[in-house]
Structure 1
Amino acid sequence: MPTPAAKPGRTGIGPARLEVLKRIYSYRSFYLMLLPAILYYLVFHYYPMYGALIAFKQFSITKGITGSAWVGFQHFEYLFGLDKFWQIFWNTIVISLYRLVFGFPLPLIVALLLNEVRKLMFKRTVQTVIYLPHFISWVIMGGLLINLLSVDGGVVNNLIRSLGGQPVGFLIDENYFRGTLVWSMIWKEFGWNTIIYMAALAGVNPQLYEAAVMDGANRWRRVWHITLPCIRSTIIILLILRIGGLMEAGFEQIFVLYHPGVYNVADIIDTYVYRVGLTEGKFSLAAAVGLFKSVINFTLLVIANSLARRMGEQGIY
């Protein structure tokens, strides 16, 4: 008597699952290349999330994470009662918004301008020059900024003196320090960020421009009605990612340039976590601050992505 065939849902593999396995096998080389990135995020990003438990415990190095006593939201209550915390929270928001408002549009504008350049040699030269600062670490960049902006012997202030003006404390005056942070960040990173926009612009169909020229559209019309709509999805995705990282105000840059004289305007959440967690040894309090920042970033990311999807864009998920 013949044995009945196994049912797909119980003992066998269903046709849909089999199709997925075949597709994975056919693209096995791509998944193999993706494996190092997956392992990186698992080891250095997802596994350390276990350490977030420190924020809810009275952490002791000798007892470890599991052996330390639970204190619930005690560290958060203490944190929210500190006037210092709300000052650094405000500093983080202000600096991040400055970076977003002034730093986000500039790479797009530069990419649009370079896209209109027809001299290939000039275009490549400009791209190389504006990309170079990205590869310079903030330690070296900090030394360059000190040599340029220092009150005593700085190139910029020497020029101001020679013109009859008074030296400006770009790095020591609270009125100028935030502006110095924002513009030095833009100087360092805007060239690198243009790469994504240049790649998106390379995918625009040239026939659209040819048809627009035949219809009498000038250069600005072509940019407004063809170029920007074609790369809108790229702009939206990058904007979502920037909003999702709004609480990241640039630890390395500020850590290199700031000092106690400008703490009132430059001390951000990341630098506060560094001082409290590593310098003072308050690991639980520092973990609470970091967890609070991560929750804010996640919330902003979800809101920005939801708004993008309502506008007809795909978003990032």
Structure 2
Amino acid sequence: MTVPTAPFAGRTVFRAGFGALQLERLSDRRADAVALLRRAVELGVDHVDTAEFYGFRFANEVIREALRPGDGVLVVTKVGADPVEGGRPPLRLAQRPEELRASVEDNLRSLGTERLDVVNLRRADTGPGVRAEGDQAVDLDDQLATMTALRDEGKIGAIGLSSVTIDGLRRALPAGIVCVQNAYSVVSRDDEGMLRLCAAEGIAWVPFFPLGGAFPGLPKATDEPVVREVAAALDVTPAQVGLAWLLHHAPNVLLIPGTADPDHLAANVAAARITLDAATLASLDAIESRSSDIALG
């Protein structure tokens, strides 16, 4: 079977990547966390999503230990929030230009590198999560000036955006955006227009919460009767159907599902090779989309 690939930040990558957020569940079993990431590489994963605030830099440290130069794995991190140990939520916004620069330096140190492949600027404009207020309500142009300066200095290879509106993306296009991360799934498709804009501009669409349901009030793809019916017919899991739909829906979609379980990891990667016929896609496309625009904190 042909390996499904797509362009990303000047590379061609396998469309099923790995999100490192769940690695923090293995914080007391570091060797297992390293082994899980090694297993991801063995399965063909060649792009990993992380952040300094994932497990208070635990995810970054595991990536530093597990990945080798010869693996050819593209590491994507993000700035715009910093970890707060014991906080609820366990992060705080860090949107000011000087905070973005400091966060880049933090990621460079914890990942043990001199250059970050891709850095997503996490805004607080849309989607589930906290909203920027007070001195954290920073103009996008000021943030992009800092990000492009860091790229010019060689500390960043490419710039992405996260939790951004379509107007924000349009404003950012001249900066050379390579990816967008917003909440998006078969049951929550608020950003359909932005996905299409990304496809037209050659920008990767990398949905977080690809199965929905990460916060109370968000719909879950795996609860949908149609998703469950398709899964039963294909002898796969409802989660695999939700992930496979994303890849069939648009050619610029990349997956970054996270897990701390090796079997779940293998199932996520296998979802990239599931074929959905036209009738099945039509039935999934017909699922009602419900809003994911929930502010927390």
TM-score (normalised: structure 2): 0.23
Larger helix proportion, structure 1 or 2?
Answer: 1
TM-score (normalised: structure 1): 0.22
